């Protein structure tokens, strides 16, 4: 069995990664909304439910991004970089 090397936690670009994830999720919401007019009623319900989950996910990502921004501004713990 080979040895496993743990990657250090690098938080330096977390804010940007979260911003990208938010943008991608918003684009997915918009793309899904564009398909609504071509969808059956069952598909519309599914799309709307999925978009609701996406919106909740965005809320969580925004909170996480705020936490990461605050950590960045206060200077990360050097043990975690």
Q: What is the pLDDT of residues 10-69, one digit of tens each?
A: 778 999 999 999 999 999 999 999 999 999 999 999 999 999 999 999 999 999 999 999
Question: How much of the chain is helix, strand and coil, in % rounded to 5?
Answer: 75, 0, 25
pLDDT for 50: 98
Tell me if 8 sits within 8 A of 81, measured CB to CB.
yes
| pLDDT over 80 at 6, yes or no | no
Separation CA 51–CA 71 (nearest Å): 30
pLDDT of residue 81 exceeding 50: no
Rounded distance between C-alpha atoms, residue 47 and residue 54, angstroms? 10
Provide the pLDDT for residue 59: 98
Is residue 29 within a helix (H) or strand (E), and if so which, with residue range? helix 14-35
Count of all residues that appear for the chain in the document: 81
Residue 26 in tokens: 């918003």
User: Rounded to two decimals, what is the model's pTM?
Assistant: 0.79
């Amino acid at each position: 069995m080979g040895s496993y090397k743990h990657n250090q936690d690098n938080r330096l670009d977390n804010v940007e990664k979260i911003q990208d994830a938010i943008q991608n999720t918003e684009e997915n919401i918009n793309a899904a909304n564009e398909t609504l007019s071509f969808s059956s009623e069952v598909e519309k319900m599914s799309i709307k439910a999925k978009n609701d989950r996406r919106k909740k996910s965005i809320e969580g990502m925004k909170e996480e991004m705020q936490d990461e921004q605050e950590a960045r501004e206060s200077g990360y713990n050097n043990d975690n970089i």
